[in-house]
Structure 1
Amino acid sequence: MQRSLINLSVIAGLLSGCGGGSSDASAPISEPVAQEPPASATTTVKSGVITGFGSVYVDGERYTTDETSITINGEAGASIESLKVGMRIALTSSDSGSTPGAATITYESDVEGVIQTIDRLSGRIQIAGVTISYDDLTHFIATSENTLSVGDRIEVSGYALADGTFYATYIEIENELQPSQSQTVSGVVSELDTTAQQFYIGSTLVDYSQASAEGALANGLQVKVEGLFSDGVLTAAELKVRVVSYEDNDDVAEAEIEGVLTAVDPASNTLELYGQTYTYTSSTAFEDGTVDDLLAGAIVEIEVAYANGEQTVTKVEFKKQNLADGKVKGVITAIDTEAGSITVNNSVYVVNNQTRYEDDDDQYVALSFLQVNDKVELVYQTVDETNIVLRLERENDEEYFAESELEGYVTAVTGNSITLLGLTIDLAAEALYLLDERRVTLDIFVAQLSIPAKVELRGNYDQNGVFIANRFELELEDDSDDDGDNDDDRSDDDDSDGQSKNGVYLEIEGRVTAVTGDGRFTLNGYDVDVNTASKLELNDLKVSVIEFMAAISDGTVVEVEGVLDAEGVLVATEAEIEEDDSESDDD
């Protein structure tokens, strides 16, 4: 078997005798295997992402929770209110009805720690050297993609990806907790050195010589590591190998396990997931892919049947990322419960059992809870000219009027406005225009627009209901391989595609690692230059270059927007320092 340095943070990996979930009548696998399981095998296990409540929905399937035992981060007896949309959980069920009941639900966070760096344009942060990506489907609690800050302590649930990064389905601020130096990351072991007692998770070196370890280490296995991070090394205090195994549990009849394939052997018809080898056959069904798509690194949900001491993969469903075609924010003007649709900005959007519902003020939100005039943010995918809602968030006034991002296809262009998502957006002269990540003039931007070009906007609604955009972004070059870009913010990686980065626009935040001269410092691996043309702020007050540099020393948190020059120096158009009396424990 060939191994890939990848894996997925599935909470079910922490369960050996109790796991994850049951299928209802609409689920993909009602008769998983020809052989009848023993009469005693009545339990179904499932792992997946919470998509809604009203009981609990996991990947669109409903499980009642009247008699459910809930464990969160090792603490039993938790309430259903402690669970959130976007959390990856494991559950067990012994019901075979159309709406099964969850006997147990277990949630275990994947990453906990302090944000070291932020790259806002690419949607990436770093914790303990591990790059974490987020997108329009990530559920943020008590924060947003625009308000995350270096020094924030967060909890993350999601997937460890093939490129060594981590994809977040859920991010929650934990700043109210007691300050802690401890960092926790999850990932796949690579370059294991049992003599030196160290290995890598992505680019982070883990020293486990002083760790309390649970499970046997091997390359390709997923681990969860807690320890102290300093100078690029995570010194582990606790280490747990995550393994999912049910074949020795006579109570388990079938399992639905979500994760990233770590190895595939077509010669023996086997695949590996969470340290376990599974056999697939000519009878195995495939959804959203074929047997040829079984590759190390693929994100899948496998359905496994257990009978007579054997386990067989009855179905493989490939989980696709970045399915969204657009993101819209507006007020609901019509609701059709029979059609399962809502109207926002004169466009119709349809919900289904896969739609994720979010409302930070109310856990229980669904189509039946929505009302005309509700303010919502929708992420959608267009299928056969129908807008399918992937994520729906009902927002309060503070969230609705805050700065946010919209994305959609242009339907009309004039010299001073564009129309998309049912909105007419003014093209302000003072706005920022990006073309293939480079800053351009308004005239150049408009000249490159076509119908239907896909444009991303940043801005906010005013009190009159008009969306005022301050940034417009258009990509003409093929970006189909963006998911494979595991670069962090360091400039030496940015030329790996062979293209010059001269003129590329960046928005980054991090801690200064060196002050190298008058008006120059190092941030997130970049040499940053501030000058008299830069807009500089200190605690929301405009300051001079001299005043700004006087406030900078090693460890100062700075947010910078600017353009890379031919030498790779980030020339700041804007830079900001927000001084805080409290000290952050980021490393």
Structure 2
Amino acid sequence: MRFSKSLIALALSTSLTACGGSDSSEPTGSNPPATGGGGDSGSSVYSEGVITGFGSVYVNGQRYRSGNANIAVGNNPAAEEADLKVGMVVSVAASSAGDGEDPEASDIRYEEHLQGAVTFIDTEQETLDVLGQQVVFNDLTEFDGTELSTLAVGDIVEVSGYINDDGDFYATRIELETDADEFNIKGTISSLDTDAQTFAINALTINYSGAEFDDMSADDLADGLYVKVEGENFDEETTTLTATTIENKEQNLDDIDDVDEIKIAGIVSDYNEAEGVFTVNRYTFNVNDETEFEDGPASRLANGVRVKVEAEVENEQLFAEEIEFIAKDARQKTEGQVESVDTDNQTFVINGITFTVEDDTTYLDTSGQGARQFNFADIAVNDWLKVLSVIDDNGDTVAVKVKRSDEDDRDGEVKGVASGVTVDGMTVAGVSIVFNEETEFEGDDDNNDGNLSVDEFVALFDGEEEIEVEVKGNYDGDILIAQEVEIETDDDDDGDDDQGDKTGKAEFEGAVESIDGETLVVNGIELRFDDSSELEVDDQEVSVADFIAAIEVGTVIEIEGVWREQSYVQVLEAEVE
């Protein structure tokens, strides 16, 4: 069974008197305190965004009472709230009584954007390849059932998130699937060939010769149409998915013409400043003199920026009433024990740093307490937290993601501006870091393979410029003994970053596509070796000749190296399990 009507239409057909219902068994506390229904009596609400917490369901920083909601997850139209998880991008149809109560959701729907096998993992560029799609992730991405360090080529994953301005997919959630028997993808058709009965979604070829169609027919297929494709047979060599079902997923503004409040979160693309239009999640918004901006000036609006847009429909067009800028990445990462909590100012202190929370802060409890309904009100002194944060325009440290854990589950990873740097150590994100003879330092200069001595690293801090670093290590009490220290490049959150640049460090895992003497190709990347390359096969050190002899097309290898001449990777380390 499938939803044959749009979620919005379903909501509008629901009696607005339903907003008088209540979730009396659920806490009325906020995340932080709720902003209220935000509409006139009996107003309707439609929202698309990421789930940031529960008790009921928080989407786009708003709490939606969910006790009476119809919940659909994937192809299951009779799911429960327990099936929803932090990081999922969902659609919510709700109604508000306008009496200060949070809106009551009538329908909540989740559909993964992508499900398939991982074919390439680039840890340096923070990307995955799944079904011919490039998936971008970062510290804010929620991994479930796996971690980046354990994710492997061949694993089946379910991905939720947003299309970014490059047409790639930014993942808000990546979940390992252990019993998946179906692949699926949502995307825009290109290269339609009605004779061959194929079309493309980015680098993926879809064979639709035996497909069934939902809300459309084969005659409706056209370049530019947005569809969902399901299939059970994926040919990795030809990057072809044989479709069993194709469903029309085009947005229809007629469905939201009568909605009072529209809230859409995503990543800006196709921005035309002169015409005052931009796109988020395939919705086109108009900007005018009455548009209000929050957490940044109008000049910050650009392709690649993550936003939340509140809009209204007028003359079959969407006009942005308010645009709120949302952090796309975290500039600081720390972990530690809560020293104090200020409920009046909605702040808490860890490692001497005062963190403030906002409506969009994400909360998750992975500790032994395992509380599903966890938010600011549940944070207590002595809790162990992992916090991702940004610095706002007022200089405040804003927590964008708060995860409660146990002391034994600390990651040993921190990120932020380094201070008090000496040959013995430094402080990062309030954590004391100690160096030893095994600590490795990496810069952004590929002339020396990115490797620095401790003296060269310390010398970088002679000037007044602040330098961000990321540290990985192991704790000795509250002291972090650094194993790796890496200089962070200053990616611009308001536009393009350096993903895809063929410079500096390279670190990835993928299958060998071709072998030519002592040169390999993995995912289109040429790999070259020399006598200094450190190579392992089944945990045994081997020579270049023996390493090449142990490899055939299709063998999965892990690579660390540096880009040379922006055309090939000089291998420093490589491993085959």
The partner residue of 2:262 within 255, 262, 266 is: 255
Give the corresponding residue for 1:18. 10
Q: CA deviation at 1:106?
A: 0.7
In structure 2, how many angstroms separate the alpha carbons of the residues matched to 1:385 and 1:289?
13
In structure 2, how many angstroms separate the alpha carbons of the residues matched to 1:316 and 1:200?
36
CA contact (8 A) 1:48 1:258 kept: yes
Q: CA RMSD, aligned part only?
A: 3.8
Q: CA deviation at 1:191?
A: 5.0
Q: Could you give the per-residue CA deviations for residues 412-471 of structure 1, whole angstroms, max 9, x where no partner exists?
A: 121332222122323334333222263132232222224553333242333523212222
- Are 2:417 and 1:417 equivalent residues in the alignment? no
Give the corresponding residue for 1:83. 84
Q: Against the structure 1 CA distance between its residues 464 and 254, is the aligned structure 2 distance closer, same or farther, given a 3 Å change threshold?
A: closer
Q: Taking structure 2 as the reference length, what is the TM-score of the superposition?
A: 0.81
Q: CA deviation at 1:172?
A: 0.9
Give the corresponding residue for 1:224. 228
Q: Against the structure 1 CA distance between its residues 144 and 479, is the aligned structure 2 distance closer, same or farther, given a 3 Å change threshold?
A: same
In structure 2, how many angstroms separate the alpha carbons of the residues matched to 1:560 and 1:59?
39
In structure 2, how many angstroms separate the alpha carbons of the residues matched to 1:393 and 1:153?
25
- Are 2:123 and 1:114 equivalent residues in the alignment? no
In structure 2, how many angstroms separate the alpha carbons of the residues matched to 1:292 and 1:342?
32
Amino acid at match of 1:465: D
Q: Could you give the per-residue CA deviations for residues 249-298 of structure 1, whole angstroms, max 9, x where no partner exists?
A: 78743322334566678898766666666666554444456777777776
Q: Which 5+ residue runs of structure 2 have no aligned equivalent?
A: 20-29
The partner residue of 1:460 within 467, 473, 481 is: 473
CA contact (8 A) 2:329 2:493 kept: no
Give the corresponding residue for 1:581. none
Q: Against the structure 1 CA distance between its residues 56 and 339, is the aligned structure 2 distance closer, same or farther, given a 3 Å change threshold?
A: same
The partner residue of 1:399 within 409, 414, 418 is: 409
Amino acid at match of 1:106: R
CA contact (8 A) 2:311 2:322 kept: no
CA contact (8 A) 2:48 2:263 kept: yes
2:105 is paired with a residue whose SS is: coil
Q: Against the structure 1 CA distance between its residues 318 and 212, is the aligned structure 2 distance closer, same or farther, given a 3 Å change threshold?
A: farther
Q: CA deviation at 1:112?
A: 0.7
Amino acid at match of 1:505: K
Q: How many residues were matched structurally?
A: 540
Amino acid at match of 1:43: S
2:573 is paired with a residue whose SS is: strand
1:145-544 residue pairs with structure 2 within 5 A? 145-174=148-177, 176-178=178-180, 180=181, 182-190=182-190, 192=192, 198-214=198-214, 215=216, 216-227=220-231, 228-237=234-243, 238-245=245-252, 247-248=254-255, 252-259=259-266, 282-287=289-294, 300-305=307-312, 313=319, 315-360=321-366, 361-383=370-392, 384-397=394-407, 399-400=409-410, 402=411, 405-436=413-444, 438=446, 439-442=450-453, 443-449=455-461, 450-451=463-464, 453-475=466-488, 483=496, 487=500, 494=502, 501=503, 504-517=504-517, 520-530=519-529, 533-542=532-541
In structure 2, how many angstroms separate the alpha carbons of the residues matched to 1:465 and 1:379?
19
In structure 1, how many angstroms separate the alpha carbons of the residues matched to 2:167 and 2:345?
42
Give the corresponding residue for 1:572. 571
In structure 2, how many angstroms separate the alpha carbons of the residues matched to 1:169 and 1:463?
32
1:65 is paired with a residue whose SS is: coil
2:377 is paired with a residue whose SS is: helix
Which of the pair has the greater relative contact order for Cα pairs under 8 Å at 6+ separation? Answer: 1
Q: Could you give the per-residue CA deviations for residues 55-105 of structure 1, whole angstroms, max 9, x where no partner exists?
A: 111121111222222110020222222111111111111232431221221
Q: CA deviation at 1:526?
A: 2.9
Q: Against the structure 1 CA distance between its residues 326 and 297, is the aligned structure 2 distance closer, same or farther, given a 3 Å change threshold?
A: closer
Amino acid at match of 1:133: V
Q: Could you give the per-residue CA deviations for residues 326-352 of structure 1, whole angstroms, max 9, x where no partner exists?
A: 111222233333332222222221223
In structure 2, how many angstroms separate the alpha carbons of the residues matched to 1:13 and 1:315?
27
In structure 2, how many angstroms separate the alpha carbons of the residues matched to 1:234 and 1:511?
17
In structure 2, how many angstroms separate the alpha carbons of the residues matched to 1:440 and 1:551?
29
Amino acid at match of 2:451: V
2:185 is paired with a residue whose SS is: strand
Q: Percent of aligned pairs with the same residue?
A: 31
Amino acid at match of 1:427: F
Q: Against the structure 1 CA distance between its residues 213 and 295, is the aligned structure 2 distance closer, same or farther, given a 3 Å change threshold?
A: farther
Q: Against the structure 1 CA distance between its residues 541 and 351, is the aligned structure 2 distance closer, same or farther, given a 3 Å change threshold?
A: farther
In structure 2, how many angstroms separate the alpha carbons of the residues matched to 1:217 and 1:143?
37
In structure 2, how many angstroms separate the alpha carbons of the residues matched to 1:192 and 1:478?
36
Give the corresponding residue for 2:138. 135
Amino acid at match of 2:63: R
Q: CA deviation at 1:522?
A: 2.7
CA contact (8 A) 1:164 1:486 kept: no
In structure 2, how many angstroms separate the alpha carbons of the residues matched to 1:68 and 1:116?
38
2:79 is paired with a residue whose SS is: coil
2:358 is paired with a residue whose SS is: coil
In structure 2, how many angstroms separate the alpha carbons of the residues matched to 1:448 and 1:13?
59
Q: Which 5+ residue runs of structure 1 have no aligned equivalent?
A: 1-10, 32-38, 488-492, 495-500, 579-587
Give the corresponding residue for 2:562. 563
CA contact (8 A) 1:411 1:419 kept: yes
CA contact (8 A) 1:189 1:221 kept: yes
Q: Taking structure 1 as the reference length, what is the TM-score of the superposition?
A: 0.80
